[in-house]
Amino acid sequence: MLVTSADLWTPAPGTVVSWAVEPGGTPGRRVDLSLNQRNHLAAAVAGEPSVWMAAGFDVEGPVDVAALEGAYRAVVARHSALQVGATVVAGAVHGRHHDAADLRWTRRADVPTSTVAETRDHVRRELDAACWPLSYPAFWPAAISRPDRSTVVLGLDHLHVDAYSLAVLVDDLHTVYVGLAEEGRVPDLPETACFVAGLAAPPLRVPADDARLRSWHDFLARQDHRLPTFPLSLGVEPGERAAQRTEVSVLADAGVADRLGGHARLHGGSTATAALAALACAVADVGGPVVLPLLMPVHLRSTPAERRTVGWLTTTVPVELASHPDPCATLAHAARAVAAARAMAAVPLDQVLGSVSRPLVRERTDVFMASYLDYRRLPGHRELLGRRAHHVSAPTLADDLQVWVSRTPEGLGVRVRTPATLTAARVVASLLERWRERIASMTSGPCSSPLALTGAGRPAHPVGSP
């Protein structure tokens, strides 16, 4: 699945087909919202732009409009996260669960386009307008119809989905569309969990003396209760933001990625931990610290039904990565650090924030974070390439560096988001070069036997084990 940004997207021209969707006459029943959703909506109330993402994939021939509308209706009815909206009452944001059967779908006038730029600009304008989290629904169902091969586009505000969800939506929409177009019926789909039901059952709090909660507190204390920021200048001062710049690049081809994972497994890790270890080394190479603190999103889907669920089902955990002169030592430390960080996902963020010894300091709007998603493990992964599936994100404003690493059958790719400054552009160019070189160096020779780091081989402040 190609992960990119709307300013880099190159959709071929065609006829844009879309629908306006409106709720029925009833306001929907009151529902709780997750911490992620509440924070996201607070930003929207404060005037931040929509943070939308779009799932796109190709189908053969011109769009079968009736089949596509039927597919959209079925998928919205299937996934309760797409039925949740938000309203602001007396300055407070409340969640509302709408009945999918009451939604009104109206076919909008088709819009023909003749160039890539015209198509991209039109689609972006529609997504910016439709995917506003304080107006339900915050999604835009559409397609770009062409005589030979068409592109289905479903854009949604982050309120409804996370990145994982887009792969689920691609698989569900494609399956239902083909079933309706070819057989006139909605095919059976695998069982899915209910996102709204999960909102009503908040995660269990851990005991106050739980080692995982203590690891959170220890991490924050080492950062002087400041959320992690990228350690090098990006050309913006604290409190300043700039337009977002996105760079999409290849870190490793399939062969190198396979070898990287093999080396990492000898030290208790995975391709994910090795890619993060190489990032820490690359940051140190371009002038950063030896120990690199950052935040890492992890998804919370554990059962087969949850893995077919659409919704914002992630939490955030802290991790400290270390650059060590011995690549095997770096791999071993990253394996332990990431494992400890993932264990901390069991601690609800509400509990972390409510138990800190003093308020957190947030010097920037964004935080320094690194995400990793192995699309080979997601629903419909075998068909993603043939469907030309892609994840397109909205370009907004930025004041920190954030990376999204994707593992696909083609290898390792990365999307880097920074402020659009010359300083940031130079940093990213150097960082990507060193990141690729570090990955190559970790796979270029025979792997040592697994290491157990002790004493001087251990960084000063590793993430504590639970």
* pLDDT of 1: 87
Between CA 357 and CA 25 the distance in angstroms is: 47
Answer whether 38's CB lies under 8 Å from 93's CB: yes
Residue type, 424: A
- Please indicate whether the domains covering 2-199 and 211-457 agree at the CATH topology level: yes
Other C-beta atoms closer than 10 Å to the C-beta of 38 total 15
Superfamily of domain 211-457: Nonribosomal peptide synthetase, condensation domain (3.30.559.30)
Copy the structure tokens of residue 415. 């999307």
pTM (2 d.p.)? 0.92
CATH fold label, 2-199:
Chloramphenicol Acetyltransferase (3.30.559)
* pLDDT of 89: 85
Instruction: Tell me the domain boundaries of the chain.
Output: 2-199, 211-457
Residues 6+ positions from 30 with CB-CB distance below 8 Å? 94, 95, 96, 97
Question: Which pLDDT tens digits describe the chain residue by residue (466 residues)?
Answer: 889 999 999 999 999 999 999 998 888 899 999 999 999 999 999 988 889 999 999 999 999 999 999 999 999 999 999 999 999 888 889 999 999 999 999 999 999 999 999 999 999 999 999 999 999 999 999 999 999 999 999 999 999 999 999 999 999 999 999 999 999 999 999 999 999 999 988 889 999 999 999 999 999 999 999 999 999 999 999 889 999 999 999 999 999 999 999 999 999 999 999 999 999 999 999 999 999 999 999 999 999 999 999 999 999 999 999 999 999 999 999 999 999 999 999 999 999 999 999 999 988 999 999 999 999 999 988 888 889 999 999 999 999 999 999 999 999 999 999 999 999 999 999 999 999 999 999 998 655 544 443 333 333 333 332 2
* pLDDT of 385: 83
